[in-house]
């Protein structure tokens, strides 16, 4: 891969070893394309490029002192979070969905919150997204990793559909917990994101209309119509610090409320590792789908510690301006971010840093 450059009164290019060649006539044809492109950058004296396919190679221009030694490119250390890529629940969900063998296949919710993975899965399995069970009457319903309420499976089976349940085991354990609490007469309060598929499923298993709290300020909005037993559970991807803050306020209002920390232990370890990573590095890159709640949580956690935190979906969204004079970069990913997306980002950061 080559990089084209323009120096005042001199045109040249860098070869794959970053040697500068002043004679443009020797530049490969793939470099003789169009001028400045905003997605190709110069980082200090470290030359950075996007690694496009050969037929999309990019030419760009910039001012540069003629005396610079192009071999002297500073290196940038890239440190991945200790926990990266798919969690066990996501891996199991994808494997289970891939094992489905009675088409046509339908889903009410995305299997996991990552568009790259979903496009691949939909192409390979010809999965169709539907908004209502009444939209089809044969084949297989695949329940997402985030789970669904009990009525969904019941109705699907009543329609004669085969049901493939890929619900994460941790989420299933929360379903069982809240169902048991509801059966015992508890009012269940859920700490989580109101519009998330997982929280909607937990709410359904808890009896339907139960309070959902996203932050401390919403606690005062909870209305309890009668005295009785109360319990609180959490969305499995919640940050433990937020959970504890909300629980403290809940206990101040209802001292006898029973607390069940249902946060995924594997994800909590990812949070703890990220907090340390955010302290040790100058810049943090969070990789994941913007529809992924757990990736947004990672971004919030990191940004609270390190304001130089950037959320990207894939390698094309990296901006070299984030890394000016940077020596240490940390990367972390959501639990639904595939390895190939992570590797592309790591490779590009390596090129940006001159490694």
User: Which positions are annotated as active-site residues?
Assistant: 198
70, burial (CB in 10 Å: exposed 0-12, middle 13-18, buried 19+): middle
At residue 134, φ and ψ (nearest 5 deg) are: -75, -5
Q: What are phi and psi of 268, to 5 degrees?
A: -60, -40
Closest CA to 254 of 214, 217, 235, 226: 226
CA distance 12 to 204: 64
Backbone angles phi, psi at 12, to 5 degrees: -160, -170
What span, in angstroms and rounded, lies between the C-alpha atoms of 66 and 70? 10
Rg (CA), the chain: 25
- Supply 334's token pair: 């959501």
CA distance 157 to 87: 29
Separation in Å, CA 196 to CA 15, 85, 103, 301: 48, 21, 27, 19
């Amino acid at each position: 891969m080559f990089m084209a450059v323009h120096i005042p009164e001199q045109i040249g290019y860098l070869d794959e070893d970053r040697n500068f060649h002043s004679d443009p006539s020797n530049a490969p044809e793939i470099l003789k394309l169009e001028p400045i492109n905003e997605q190709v950058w110069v980082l200090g004296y470290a030359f950075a490029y996007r690694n496009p396919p050969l037929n999309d190679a990019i030419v760009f221009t910039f001012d540069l002192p003629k005396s610079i030694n192009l071999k002297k490119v500073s290196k940038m250390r890239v440190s991945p979070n200790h926990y990266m890529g798919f969690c066990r629940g996501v891996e199991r969900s994808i494997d289970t969905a891939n094992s489905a063998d009675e088409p046509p296949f339908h889903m009410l919710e995305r299997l996991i919150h990552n568009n790259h993975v979903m496009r691949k899965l939909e192409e390979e399995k010809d999965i169709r997204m539907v908004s209502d069970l009444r939209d089809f009457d044969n084949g297989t319903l695949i329940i997402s990793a985030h789970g669904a309420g009990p009525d969904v499976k019941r109705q699907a089976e009543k329609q004669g559909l085969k049901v493939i349940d890929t619900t994460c085991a941790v989420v299933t354990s929360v379903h069982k917990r809240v169902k048991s609490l509801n059966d015992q007469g508890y009012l269940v309060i859920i700490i989580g994101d109101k519009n998330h598929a997982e929280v909607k499923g937990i709410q359904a298993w808890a009896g339907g209309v139960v309070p959902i709290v996203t932050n401390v300020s919403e606690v005062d909005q909870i209305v309890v119509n009668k005295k009785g037993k109360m319990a609180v559970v959490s969305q499995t991807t919640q940050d433990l610090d937020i959970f504890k803050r909300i629980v403290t306020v809940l206990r101040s209002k209802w001292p006898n409320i029973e607390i069940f920390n249902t946060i995924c232990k594997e994800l909590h370890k990812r949070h703890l590792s990220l907090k340390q990573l955010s302290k040790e590095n100058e810049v943090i890159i969070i990789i994941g789908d913007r529809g992924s709640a757990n990736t947004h949580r990672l971004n919030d956690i990191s940004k609270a510690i390190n304001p130089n935190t950037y959320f990207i979906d894939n390698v094309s969204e990296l901006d070299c301006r984030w890394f000016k004079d940077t020596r240490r970069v940390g990367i972390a990913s959501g639990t639904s971010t595939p390895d190939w997306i992570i590797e592309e980002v790591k490779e590009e950061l390596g090129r940006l840093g001159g490694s």
